[in-house]
Structures are given as C-alpha cells and as structure tokens.
Amino acid sequence: DDRIGLLGVNGAGKSTFAKMVAEALAIEHGHLHRDRRMRVGWFHQHQIEAMDPTDTPLDIIRRAMPEASEASRRSRLAQYGFNRDKVETTVADLSGGERARLLLNMVAAEAPHLLILDEPTNHLDIDSRRALLEALNDFAGAVILITHDRSLMEMVADRLWLAADGTITPFEGDLEDYSRYVIERAKARVRAPTQVREEAPAPAPPPPPPARKAPTGNARRRAEAAEAALARATEAVAELDRQLSAPDVFAQNPDRAVALGKQRDVAQAKLEAAEAEWMAAVEAYEALKAGVG
C-alpha cells in the first residue's frame, strides 16, 4: 500500500524510471531486480495521444476481453461511465477526459499490484479527478505517482522520491521543501557557466509575504499563467523528443539531428526555468491564501 510521489524536473528521468519498472523499456546497463509475478499497471498521458481516432470504446474493450460476451463488455463500459450512445462513439469524438477515464479503467481492470500514474489528471475534469482520488484511496496495491498536480500529490503520496543527477533517492521533506529545492537549483544553473546550452532565464523570485491581508487575484493569475507557460514548454520538449526519436533522423540527416539536439537543449533549459517559476508562483499564491484565510 505504498503511495510514492516521484519528483523531479522534466528530463530528470521520472518517465524513464516508470518505463523500466513497467518493463516498457529495456535497461542498457546495470541490473533491475523485480518479482516476475508482479503485475504493473502503467498509465501515461501519451497513451491518450496514441489512441486510434477511428476506434470506439467498444472496439477497445473487445480486444481487451476477447472471450467475453457483448453484454459483459457493454456492462463493463457502463461501469466506466460510458452509456449506450458513448460506447460506439469514435475516439476522435470523445473528450480528453473521457479517453483518460477509459484508459485508466482499462489499466485498473488488470488488477495490478503496482500502479504507475504518469500525469494522470492532464485531461480530467474536476469530477473525474475526485473519482480518481477516491479510487486511489481504495486501491489495495502500491502507487507511484508522477504529476504536476500539487493537490493530487499532497493528497495521495505519503513518501517522496527525487529523480535528479541520474539517480532516484528518497526525498526528505515535503512539497514546499521541494519547491525551494527546484528554485535554488534553477538559480544555480543560471549562474553556472555552460558550454552546451543557452543559459536559462532566472526565475522571478517569489513576492515577499504580505504585511496585511490582500486579495489573491494577482497571485492566482500569476500561478495560472505560469502553469500555462509550463505546459507550453513541456510540449515543446516533447515535440523535439518526438522528432529526435524518428528512426532515420540520425542516419539520413545528421545535420538536422545535431540542430534538433541543440534546440532540445535550449528548450529543456526554458522548461526548467518555467517549472521553477510555476513552483514559485504556486507557493506565493498559497501563502497569500493562507494569509487571507
């Protein structure tokens, strides 16, 4: 029943670690020790993007339950929240939340001993997030959670691990300690000379604590803007990773591969700065809320 929150800036290796534990990525060096009888359920946001837009929920569950009757399949989908009309709706016409809900339920249906959730709430609405939280609280197995959703992390994780500098270690502290850690590392990275990548812009320091009660609107908008900037920076890195992962990019166009690598370095630096700014903005907003309350 471990509830482990996996922390770390984008690119630190969180998803790579998850893939190795889920046996979706072969290790290149060293050894990985795990019980072969352990069933691992792995949900990640890219599964949603990889869904066939012409599939329907009924098509998907037919492949997952080939021996079941049609009535059993439809009953299972109804349990997932898909009514008679929705079961034959194509993926292209489902919302992001509906796709995520379908995939999450499909993962849970395998009765895993360990559930790995990589950004599970990106496409979920408030009701679906609440249902996910309740389901995790009822889940009898272990959970490894990777998310930028601070409230979900606080409500689920009772232990924190940190991915940094090519390793994963227990993190002694809470999410506020982690916010300070990220900000300090980002500042140190900007101050340090580099020969490879463009220097990341220094994140704006968090505002001083208010001397009196003040409205939180500006801080909330700053946090929302920082979250949107973080999402854009994350997508920019993901897009460059997709281009770099093309099988023939290095063989057929090495100059383009080198250029993409340099762009990826710059994008990663901007992403780390955006994450530090988001952490600082959220921390400032929550401090203001506490003062107003």
Tens of pLDDT, residue by residue, the chain (293 residues) = 789 999 988 888 898 898 898 888 888 888 888 888 889 988 877 777 778 888 888 888 888 888 888 888 888 888 888 888 888 888 888 877 788 778 878 887 778 899 998 888 877 777 777 777 877 777 888 999 998 888 888 888 889 999 988 899 999 888 888 888 887 877 776 665 554 455 556 565 555 554 444 445 567 777 778 887 888 888 888 787 777 766 666 667 777 877 887 888 888 888 888 888 878 877 777 766 666 54
Q: In angstroms, rounded to a whole number, what is the distance separating the alpha carbons of residues 21 and 13?
A: 12
Quick check: is 70 in a domain? no
Look at the chain and report how many structural domains it folds into: 2
pLDDT at residue 203 in the model: 60
Quick check: is 140 in a domain? yes
pLDDT at residue 195 in the model: 47
Quick check: is 23 in a domain? yes
Locate 90 and state its tokens: 């194509």
Locate 273 and state its tokens: 């700065």
Task: Report CA dihedral (147, 227, 166, 174) to the nearest 10 degrees.
Answer: -60
Strand positions, DSSP E, the chain: 3-7, 40-44, 114-118, 142-146, 159-164, 167-170
**Alpha-carbon separation of residue 125 from 96, 99, 100, 101, 134 (angstroms):** 9, 12, 10, 10, 14
166 lies in the same domain as 286:
no
139 lies in the same domain as 278:
no
CATH of the domain at 19: 3.40.50.300
pLDDT at residue 247 in the model: 63
Q: For the whole model, what pTM was predicted?
A: 0.59
Quick check: is 185 in a domain? no
Range of the domain at 214: 196-292
99 lies in the same domain as 242:
no
Q: 20: Cβ–Cβ under 8 A, 6 or more apart, which residues?
A: 27, 32
Locate 222 and state its tokens: 């700053």
Q: Is 94 left (phi over 0), alpha (psi -120 to 50) or beta?
A: beta
140 lies in the same domain as 29:
yes
pLDDT at residue 214 in the model: 44
Query: Among residues 170, 204, 235, which one ends one of the domains?
Result: 170
226 lies in the same domain as 138:
no
Quick check: is 63 in a domain? no
Q: In angstroms, rounded to a whole number, what is the distance separating the alpha carbons of residues 168 and 48?
A: 27
